[in-house]
Structure 1
Amino acid sequence: MRLLMVIAILIFAMPMTGFGWAEGTNILLDPNLMCKKTRRLRGKLAEICRHDSALLKEIIINGINLGFRECEFQFRNRRWNCTVLRKSMRKILMRDSRETGFVNAITAAGVTYAVTKACTMGTLVECSCDKAHMRRNGGQPQMVTAATAEAALERQQQAAMLRQQVPLQGEHPGQQQRMNRINNGSTMMDISPMENRNGRNRRPGGRRGRRKFWDNIKFPEGQWEWGGCSDNVNFGLRHSRVFLDAKQRQRRSDLGTLVKLHNNNAGRLAIRDAMRLECKCHGLSGSCTVKTCWLKMPPFREVAGRLRDRYDSARKVTLRNDGNSFMPESPHTRPANKYQLVFADESPDFCTPNAKSGALGTQGRECNVTSSGSDRCDRLCCNRGHTRRIVEEQTNCKCVFKWCCEVTCEKCLEHRAVNTCL
């Protein structure tokens, strides 16, 4: 009798687990499913799905598609080329492999990037440029130094962290009051100066153990205006988290959910930590009498390249005994920080087609005999060999510029050697 009960429990548990994975997979492959059943949604996610159709389109469709397109580009020369074929990608996303970790990270980064860019471009009524530094100066730029600028960014990040700690169903009154105090104080002129050591600004007596996103920003020397139209990356981070993490946070006891949430956050942090300072000089005859600076995101391809490097150095993890966190599978490996990607399942070799794992194989893929990278023929073809043929291609040649403003070209035949995996 006891054996029958155990079997029955396993039978009923398996579909539930599979449904959780299928749900997350379907959302990435078809973003419109996120808000399909709004009656079951709660909190901020339900509010956005029911009222903010423009924001929904910007976040889900544009952001996730941006992530998938960049995934294809970053892995175009590897055995796994991040194909968007649904049958293959669906199987890939059913496992906690390196590939799934990268897809989750790049799509979370894509959503963050798309929403932040939409705020800057003024296409969303819910947000605009980040002008927190102008609140106490009547909306006008302020003269600042590197010390006061970094201190203001510290305040803004504290406010952003508090927002992430607020439950999706509503904000706690005490937390809201504290966040308001921080937001009201996050101006350039209200913060005490910070100590400068070896060219870097540090809070006196503060801990520098955790990395800050402005550590790589080079502030100009002397005084300059903090103005312009800074990218509102905190708004993008917050809404990416609401859309992609809300349902997973309701079931955080399994390893797959913990890994997904970690990689989602790593993707968002890759956007935040890549912010750079852009400046423009003002003055007569090209002089730099006044310098105005603002924060801007880098090209998304640069962010994707960093995430690809973190894919290569991803760490395998396993569930702790408490069931609420993970640890390195190897006792000799250091725990992953919040910027690194993690995985729980080993990846297939992707050399031959495998319907179960989603691998399409590398037969018929074009390789490069002179390359020393992942597209080298012996590596991409898994030592099966390759064929070589000469193809003719039409290219533009003998281009001439005609005033004004036209460029005319002739069509030339060009012969190119193509190597294809067996």
Structure 2
Amino acid sequence: MRAVLVPVCLLLVSPISTLSWASSVDLVLNIKQMCKPAKRSSSRIAKICNNRPGLLEQMAIGVNLALTQCQYQFRYRRWNCTNSSRSIKKVMSKDTRETGFVNAIIAAGITYQVTRACTKGEQIGCSCNKRKKKNKKKKPTEVSPETDFKWDGCAENIDFGIKRSKDFLEGRHKKKRSDMNTLVKSHNYVAGRLAIKNYMRKECKCHGLSGSCALRTCIRKMPAFREVGDRLKERFDGAAKVIPGNDGQSFIPEGDTIKPPTRFDLVYSEESPSFCLPDSSVGSFGTQGRECNETSPGEEGCGILCCGRGFQVQTKEVEHSCNCEFVYCCNVTCQVCNETVKVATCQ
């Protein structure tokens, strides 16, 4: 399924801390409309709205990036992270595994885009992260090219991206608020950000005569956002169901045999609907008419995606490039060929 970009006005936040849980997940918000009431407050969101229009724009792009990645990761699932605001709003009003993933990927998307904009020199009130700390040299018998380097240059300022993501997504919550929904959301926000921060990679350049690499200078860079999405999808598949703790300030696994979730894991407190049939109350469009793989045992297979209703196979003509030739210099010419393929769709 082709990913569809979501307008940048979709934001997973509400500007006022007193809004209800249902209205706080109203994704179809225009940026100016969102900031209008916030400007009259003294919240961190108000400061962004009043003083950082460039930063606000980058955050909106980050949300768009996240939801596009969500559509890719869920392309074979019964709920495929559709870009319909009605569906997303209903799904996000619950506290299911799907909700946990979307919260995590949204937090990651804002973090990622803000950090990337900072590195590119966008006017969002930040600077790159310059690390001058030199590596401790090992003993002569242990020296290797992998350890003979120093941190230098302009690294990606992930801490700035994390701070702005936290300000924007959690700035509306009261500091002492500890209801279950807020605890679960905050946990999944953290998991989303850590899926970037804990997987920063080292990128080095060699310096020396004739490419000798006598000295290497290194910076830290973020992983590709697809890797972040893949990692969070794995966390979604192993998400833990939790219930309120006795202290009223935390949550615990629902069952004694469930391993307590770490900061990297996704959590949820409500079971997901089946999403097999259309149901506007839960944001489900059903799976009738969805293409499936008749030979796969996985989530894209007709057995799972069609919910046991069966499927039908039809043939259709598709065009593709064929008989390609290299023409000196430097083009490739191809013919257009038609091919008959079988397509299975859920009944």
Q: Which TM-score band (shorter chain)?
A: 0.7 to 0.9
- Higher fraction of helix: 1
1:290: which partner in 2? 215
Separation (CA, whole Å) in 1 of partners of 2:287 and 2:246: 40
TM-aligned CA deviation for residue 78 of structure 1: 1.2
TM-aligned CA deviation for residue 121 of structure 1: 1.1
TM-aligned CA deviation for residue 291 of structure 1: 1.4
Separation (CA, whole Å) in 1 of partners of 2:18 and 2:135: 54
Quick one: which amino acid aligns to residue 63 of structure 1?
Answer: G
Separation (CA, whole Å) in 2 of partners of 1:220 and 1:54: 41
- Assess, with a 3 A threshold, how the Cα gap between structure 1 residues 366 and 228 changes in structure 2: closer, same or farther: same
Does the CA contact (< 8 Å) of 2:66 and 2:106 recur in 1?
A: yes
1:115: which partner in 2? 114
TM-aligned CA deviation for residue 372 of structure 1: 3.0
2:10: which partner in 1? none
Separation (CA, whole Å) in 1 of partners of 2:126 and 2:18: 37
- Assess, with a 3 A threshold, how the Cα gap between structure 1 residues 260 and 34 changes in structure 2: closer, same or farther: farther
TM-aligned CA deviation for residue 40 of structure 1: 4.1
Unaligned residue ranges in structure 1 (runs of 5+): 1-16, 135-141, 148-195, 200-218
Quick one: which amino acid aligns to residue 69 of structure 2?
Answer: E
> Which digits, 9 at most, give the CA deviation of each residue in 1:219-256, with x for residues without a partner?
96342131232110000000000000111345723211
- Name which of 357, 365, 368 aligns with 2:293: 368
Residues 221-240 of structure 1: pairs in structure 2 closer than 5 A: 221-240=146-165
Say yes or no: does 1:306 pair with 2:231.
yes
Residues 344-359 of structure 1: pairs in structure 2 closer than 5 A: 344-359=269-284
Separation (CA, whole Å) in 1 of partners of 2:147 and 2:110: 36
Separation (CA, whole Å) in 2 of partners of 1:335 and 1:232: 31
TM-score by length of 1: 0.73
Structure showing greater Rg: 1
1:177: which partner in 2? none
Separation (CA, whole Å) in 2 of partners of 1:233 and 1:62: 17
Separation (CA, whole Å) in 1 of partners of 2:145 and 2:63: 35
Say yes or no: does 1:75 pair with 2:49.
no
DSSP-derived class of the 1:108 partner: helix
Does the CA contact (< 8 Å) of 1:143 and 1:223 recur in 2?
A: no
TM-score by length of 2: 0.88
Residues 82-231 of structure 1: pairs in structure 2 closer than 5 A: 82-131=81-130, 133-134=131-132, 143-145=134-136, 221-231=146-156
Q: How many residues align?
A: 328
- Assess, with a 3 A threshold, how the Cα gap between structure 1 residues 332 and 223 changes in structure 2: closer, same or farther: same
1:270: which partner in 2? 195
DSSP-derived class of the 1:333 partner: coil
Does the CA contact (< 8 Å) of 1:44 and 1:242 recur in 2?
A: yes
1:46: which partner in 2? 46
DSSP-derived class of the 1:409 partner: strand
> Which digits, 9 at most, give the CA deviation of each residue in 1:83-103, with x for residues without a partner?
111111111011011010100
Quick one: which amino acid aligns to residue 83 of structure 2?
Answer: V
> Which digits, 9 at most, give the CA deviation of each residue in 1:258-295, with x for residues without a partner?
11111111111111011011122233444322212110
Does the CA contact (< 8 Å) of 2:38 and 2:45 recur in 1?
A: no
2:6: which partner in 1? none
**Percent identity among equivalent residues?**
47
DSSP-derived class of the 2:233 partner: helix
Separation (CA, whole Å) in 2 of partners of 1:419 and 1:129: 50
- Assess, with a 3 A threshold, how the Cα gap between structure 1 residues 41 and 404 changes in structure 2: closer, same or farther: farther
- Assess, with a 3 A threshold, how the Cα gap between structure 1 residues 18 and 362 changes in structure 2: closer, same or farther: farther
DSSP-derived class of the 1:280 partner: strand
1:253: which partner in 2? 178
TM-aligned CA deviation for residue 146 of structure 1: 7.0
2:246: which partner in 1? 321
Unaligned residue ranges in structure 2 (runs of 5+): 1-16
Separation (CA, whole Å) in 1 of partners of 2:246 and 2:205: 54
Separation (CA, whole Å) in 2 of partners of 1:346 and 1:64: 25
Spell out structure 1 runs of 4+ moving beyond 4 A: none
TM-aligned CA deviation for residue 355 of structure 1: 1.4
1:63: which partner in 2? 62
Quick one: which amino acid aligns to residue 341 of structure 2?
Answer: R
Quick one: which amino acid aligns to residue 375 of structure 1?
Answer: E
